[in-house]
Structure 1
Amino acid sequence: MSETRRPRVAISYCTQCRWLLRAGWIAQELLSTFPRELGEVALVPTTGGAFVIEVDDVRVWDRAADGGFPEIAELKRRVRDLVAPGRALGHVDRAGD
């Protein structure tokens, strides 16, 4: 019995900056929105002001490159585009219009 491998999200957060709660909240939001599509959301402690979100090694958000922290609606759209491209996100899709 083999199950299709589902994507892994990694949220790397700076422990020096105390961004664990933000990373945990984002993990909860992603798991609530994509309960069947995601296989794992990992919290990866790091340092140096990093806050990076990757889906199977594809970077979807980088605090340094993208300018701060993601709005949750935008992050959900970016993750959706990788893990469930045909899926509608309801009000989240309309929020960016």
Structure 2
Amino acid sequence: MTTVTVTLTVTEFCLRTGVSSEELDEIVGLGMIEPRVSQTQEWLFDDHAAVVVHRAVRLRHELEIDWPGIAVALTLLDENARLARENALLRQRLERW
């Protein structure tokens, strides 16, 4: 099975996600996403980063909070999802006993 990863330049990423380059700098600075390692000076992003930023933009509009607050919200949502998956696995193991 082949995995395909889409790579976007900063300009393409901003157009696709609707964030400005200044907002993208802040989002990267807050650690919400990381650029892919590249040989050039320009950042490149994968399609997963675009998904994360779309989610962040939606939360920003819905909750009307700043980017640092969105970073915390995304961290908490991801942790909640991880714990839910872990609990489901534990329940399955308990059912087998």
The bucket for the TM-score relative to the shorter chain is: 0.3 to 0.5
**Looking at both structures, which has the greater relative contact order when contacts are Cα pairs under 8 Å and sequence separation is at least 6?**
1
Report the TM-score, using the length of structure 1 for normalisation. Answer: 0.36
Query: Greater CA radius of gyration, 1 or 2?
Result: 2
Compare the two structures and name the one with the higher helix fraction. Answer: 2
